[in-house]
Amino acid sequence: MMTNKIKNKGTIDIYFNNSCPICKREISIYKSRSTGIVYNDSSLLENKYNRRMHAYLNGVEYVGARAFILIWKNTKGFKWLSYLLDNRICIFIMNLFYEPFAFYLYNMHLRRIKNKE
């Protein structure tokens, strides 16, 4: 069972769609400032990883807003954001905005794949 507050110990594995120009640009910022995070390209993995941001820490899966909070907790210049938003209400609101945007980016990903064929 996942607790409300995300506690980070160990290496964090992030799965993001590297073929998405917006995702790639955002992750490049995090990569340059974060510690303890391994960033993995999910563009060739099953679609669940391309539909939303996924993070794994100690065998626990974090998806969407919770994945971003986990990244921000370990990224210089973004830690304040994680402390501000790591609560149920903010995560709920973040996901309300994130889901339609992620769906749009995912559809762009599917179009890119279709155009390559």
CB 68 within 8 A of CB 43: no
Split at pLDDT 50, 70, 90, the class of 3 is: very low
Give Cα 17 distance to the centre of its chain: 10
Q: What is the pTM of this model?
A: 0.83
Give tens-digit pLDDT for 43-63.
Answer: 888 888 888 899 999 999 999
81-85: long-range contacts, CB 8 A cutoff, minimum separation 24: 82/6
Give tens-digit pLDDT for 63-99.
Answer: 999 999 999 999 999 999 999 999 999 999 999 999 9
- Count of residues making up the chain: 117
- Sequence-ordered list of residues with C-beta below 8 angstroms from that of 8, at least 6 positions apart, any chain: 36, 57, 70, 73, 74
Alpha carbon distance 39, 12 (integer Å): 8
Checking if the pLDDT of 4 tops 50, the result is: no
